[in-house]
Amino acid sequence: MAAVEASRKRRSKAPFFPAAKRARPGGSGQLEPGMRGILITCNMNERKCVAEAYSLLGEYGEQLYGPEQFTDQEESRVSGNEEEEEEEADEDDDAEAALKKEVDQIRTSTEQKRRRFQSVESGANNVVFIRTLGVEPEKLVHHILKDMHATKKKKTRVILRMLPVSGTCKAFVEDMKQYSETFFEPWFKSPQKGTFQIVYKARNNSHLSREKVITELAGVVGHLNPENKVDLNNPEFTIVVEIIKNICCLSVVKDYVLFRKYNLQEVVKSSKTDCQGDASKASPEGNSKGDKAVVENVGSQDQPEDKFEEKANDNHED
């Protein structure tokens, strides 16, 4: 009898396990093309990672952009809309105009309720994506790392890397090439120019060719200005390409080597000697393979935290 009751309990709980496994802490929506934000990797504790991210981003976000403003104008907006509706009724607006007005009101209301930082479903384990609103991701993340590098003050326990994402598109070569032609312009289109390297990481995606993506994106940079050159020792810019399932996240960052590949655990320990060591790893002697080697060699210089992260994430299907 006891065995039968235990069996019933197991069966009653089973249907809930898949949903619980799929749920992400603090998530609202999912990563999709057109989003901007910050991609964060962690060591197996996503819930705490989200909490740490909110705390850290909130602290530095206030420094750069001031306190977050929570607009609460719904009542005045509703009353104003009622007056407008009466006027429009007198003017006999057609049904299509009224529908469009309602959709615009819903969109405006949704925008008002969005927070400056909001966690969304990333599509990979041990990866958190924080969508941003009214924030420049590259500027904010660089500000955080610059301060931590200067003060050597550790502010997180589970967050590993924090990468800004200033653009997202579908993770297909043609889409990425077309999107990057416009996305790269502020940094690389003539008369702008600079030295660069490319770092590439793919999670839960097996249809993309690493070499193909590298070649196409490097070609776009060269097309924008032939004076853009690869530099493995001390590049002005690092193009970060993060693929998660069918989404490509792009950013162009500075001080990638100095800030230890944007690793929050390592940047507080780094010294001048350490940074020089990283630079030497990023530029192996005798390298003459061009852009392909840029990405593959930089991508292989793993810190202990990065090795843990890759073991947990690579080729993992949710």
Q: Would you say residue 112 has pLDDT above 70?
A: no
Of residues 72 and 157, more confidently modeled? 157
Phi, psi dihedral angles at 77 (to 5 degrees): -65, -40
pLDDT band of 113, cuts 50, 70, 90: low
Phi, psi dihedral angles at 224 (to 5 degrees): -65, -35
Mean pLDDT of 118-135: 96
Tens of pLDDT, residues 223-262: 999 999 999 889 999 999 999 999 999 999 999 999 999 9
Q: Enter the pTM of the model.
A: 0.69
User: Is domain 36-68+116-313 annotated with CATH 3.40.190.10?
Assistant: no
Domain ranges, ordered by start, for the chain: 36-68+116-313, 74-113
pLDDT confidence of residue 96? 73
Nearest-angstrom CA–CA distance, 203 and 41: 12
Please give the helix or strand (H or E) that residue 118 lies within, else none. Answer: strand 117-120
Token reading at 245: 């399932």
Please give the helix or strand (H or E) that residue 11 lies within, else none. Answer: helix 2-13
Of residues 268 and 26, more confidently modeled? 268
pLDDT confidence of residue 103? 65
Q: Would you say residue 315 has pLDDT above 80?
A: no
Mean pLDDT of 177-183: 97
